Amino acid sequence: MKFAVQAPLGVGLVSGAPERLLAFYGDCLGFDALRPITFPGTGTVHRFRAGGSILRIYEPEGSSPAPGPTDRFDAATGVRYFTLVVDDVHAVLDACRDFGLAAPSAPTRTGPDTFLAMIQDPDGNWIEVQSRAPL
């Protein structure tokens, strides 16, 4: 069966206490906040637009999910990180440090005009931040 994907891939995170996570993606990284969607008796989906993609942060109602992040992005199988392609990875690292997060002092050069760094959001989710020359 063939089919066409109709929209960019969305990413969903689950957080029992999302206040700092919402501030990180909205204030620190500058994602555009969209109207949250509340499912009575279930929880709330906080949404952000990032380029053409949507980041969803699900806050379950009345429960506290078990932590899942690890000390290294490659320490467990499954979905372990997502990638943000930005125009200036150095600026993202500076913003993360200003926000109070541990971030590398410099990104790794992966090509003549490409850099990447692995960071963690306040809940410990891994993010590969990458900048590269325009295609």
* Predicted confidence band of residue 79 (pLDDT cuts 50, 70, 90): confident
In a domain, 70, yes or no: no
Structural domain that includes position 43: 11-60
In a domain, 66, yes or no: no
| 4-8, 20-24, 70-74, range with the lowest pLDDT | 70-74
In a domain, 94, yes or no: yes
pTM of structure: 0.85
pLDDT of residue 135: 47
Q: Taking residues 43-59, what's their average pLDDT?
A: 93
| Residues 86 and 127 occupy one common structural domain | yes
pLDDT of residue 74: 61
d(CA 71, CA 25): 21
Beta strands in 4-133 (DSSP E): 11-14, 32-39, 43-50, 53-60, 81-86, 108-111, 114-120, 126-131
* Predicted confidence band of residue 2 (pLDDT cuts 50, 70, 90): confident
In a domain, 3, yes or no: no
The mean pLDDT value of the chain amounts to 87
Residue 133 in tokens: 């020359």
The length of the chain is 135
| Residues 89 and 119 occupy one common structural domain | yes
pLDDT of residue 68: 66
In a domain, 47, yes or no: yes
In a domain, 115, yes or no: yes
| Residues 90 and 125 occupy one common structural domain | yes
In a domain, 65, yes or no: no
Q: Residue for token digits 């993010």?
A: 127
Strand partners, 52: none
Give the CATH number of the domain where residue 112 resides: 3.10.180.10
* Whether residue 120 has pLDDT greater than 50: yes
pLDDT of residue 51: 87
In a domain, 86, yes or no: yes
Residue whose C-alpha is closest to residue 76's, from 125, 110, 21: 125
| 14-28, 68-82, 104-118, 121-135, range with the lowest pLDDT | 68-82
Q: DSSP character for 37? A: E
| Residues 48 and 15 occupy one common structural domain | yes
The SS3 of residue 26 is: helix
What is the domain count for the chain? 2
Residues 63-77: tens digit of each pLDDT: 777 766 667 666 666
